Chains A and B, each alone.
Chain A
Amino acid sequence: MRLLTKRIIACMDVRDGQVVKGVKFQQLRHAGDPAALARRYNVEGIDEVVVLDVTATLESRRALARTISAVAREIFLPLTVGGGIRSEDAAAAAVDAGADKVSLNTAALRDPKLITTLAQRYGSQAVIVAIDAKRQNDRFGVFVRSGTSDAARDAVEWAREAEARGAGEILLTSMDRDGTRAGFDCELTATVADAVNIPVIASGGAGGLEHFAEVFTRGHADAALAASIFHYADTSVADLKRHLNAEGIPVRL
Chain B
Amino acid sequence: MIALVDYGAGNLTSVKKALTALGAEFMVPESPDDCAAAAGLIVPGVGHFSATTALGAPWRDAIGRAVRAGTPLFGICVGMQWLFEGSDEAPDVPGLGVLEGRCQLLRGDAWQRLKIPHVGWNVLQPPRGPHGSAPDAFSGRLLAGLPSAPHVYFTHSYAAPVTTDCVASTTHAESFAAAVERDHVFGVQFHPEKSGDAGLQILRNYLEMCAC
Contact = CB atoms under 8 A, between A and B. Distances in A.
Interface of A: 1-7, 42, 47, 72-73, 76-78, 95-98, 100, 121-126, 168-169, 193, 197-199, 220, 222-223, 252
Nearest to A73: B17
Contacts of B11: 95, 100, 122, 126
Contact of B196 (A42, A72, A124): A42
Interface of B: 9-11, 13-14, 17-18, 21, 46-48, 108, 110, 112-123, 151, 153, 155-156, 170-172, 191, 193-196, 199-200
B13 A95 contact: yes
Contacts of A122: 10-11, 46-47
B189 to A, nearest CB: 13
Contacts of A73: 17, 21
For the complex of A and B, 6 pairs with smallest distance between CB atoms: A123-B47, A125-B155, A252-B151, A252-B121, A5-B121, A123-B46
B120 A76 contact: no
Contacts of B112: 2
Nearest to B175: A1
A78 B119 CA distance: 11
Nearest to B149: A3
B13 A98 contact: yes
Given A72-B17, A123-B48, A3 B10 contact: no
Given A1-B171, A123-B10, A98 B17 contact: yes
Contact of B115 (A7, A96, A97, A222): A222
B117 A198 contact: yes
A121 to B, nearest CB: 8
A3 B46 contact: no
Contacts of A168: 117, 119, 155
B18 A76 contact: yes
A100 B195 CA distance: 13
A220 B114 CA distance: 11
Nearest to A5: B121
A193 B115 CA distance: 10
A7 B194 contact: no
Contacts of B110: 197
Contacts of A222: 115, 119-120
Central interface residue in A76, A169, A252, by most chain B CB within 10 Å: A76
A159 to B, nearest CB: 13
A169 B119 contact: yes
A184 B211 CA distance: 50
27 contacts: A2-B112, A2-B114, A3-B171, A4-B121, A5-B121, A5-B151, A72-B14, A73-B21, A76-B18, A76-B21, A76-B194, A76-B195, A77-B194, A100-B14, A122-B46, A122-B47, A123-B46, A124-B47, A125-B117, A125-B119, A126-B11, A126-B46, A168-B155, A197-B110, A199-B117, A199-B120, A223-B120
A251 to B, nearest CB: 8
Central interface residue in A121, A223, A252, by most chain B CB within 10 Å: A252
B122 A5 contact: yes
Contacts of A252: 121, 151
Contacts of A121: 10
A5 B194 contact: no
B194 A47 contact: no
Nearest to B115: A197
A71 B171 CA distance: 31
Contacts of B193: 76
A4 B21 CA distance: 28
Nearest to A168: B117
A81 B194 CA distance: 15
Central interface residue in B151, B191, B195, by most chain A CB within 10 Å: B151
A76 B15 CA distance: 10
Contacts of A95: 11, 13
B185 to A, nearest CB: 24
Contacts of B117: 124-125, 168, 198-199
Given A76-B193, A98-B17, A126-B10, 13 more contacts: A4-B114, A4-B120, A4-B122, A5-B120, A72-B14, A76-B196, A122-B47, A123-B47, A125-B47, A198-B119, A222-B119, A223-B120, A252-B151
